[in-house]
Amino acid sequence: MVSYSLLTKRSAARELEALALKDRKRVVSRIRSLAFDPRPPRCEKLSGEEKYRIRQGDLAIVYEISDRDSTMTVVRIGHWRDVYREKRPGAAVGCVL
């Protein structure tokens, strides 16, 4: 089984830091689990995009998967109601969780 490298966009890292400590721990744990199974049973592919989302309570984690490079990039983290709204693109950072 291939382990994926985890990357986080700067904007997603800021969104993660803004979460309450207990939510942050749950989200980080969920993201780390995606390194071993980037398409777990309850993930959904976003229509019209090459992105996936997984829920952690009221929060949604939006991410991209590159099977060719074995990388997974977290794009957005936020309340499920707000996470799909357009945001300025940010550069990926080599931040490992």
pTM of the model: 0.83
- Cα angle for residues 67, 13, 80 (degrees, 5° grid): 80
Q: Of 11, 21, 1, 3, which Cα lies nearest the Cα of 72?
A: 3
Report the CATH number at residue 69: 3.30.2310.20
Distance CA 21, CA 72 (A): 23
The boundaries of the domain holding residue 33 are 5-93
**How do the pLDDT tens digits run along the chain, 97 residues long?**
678 999 999 999 999 999 999 999 999 999 999 999 999 999 999 988 889 999 999 999 999 999 999 999 999 999 988 877 765 555 555 555 5
Q: How many domains does the chain have?
A: 1
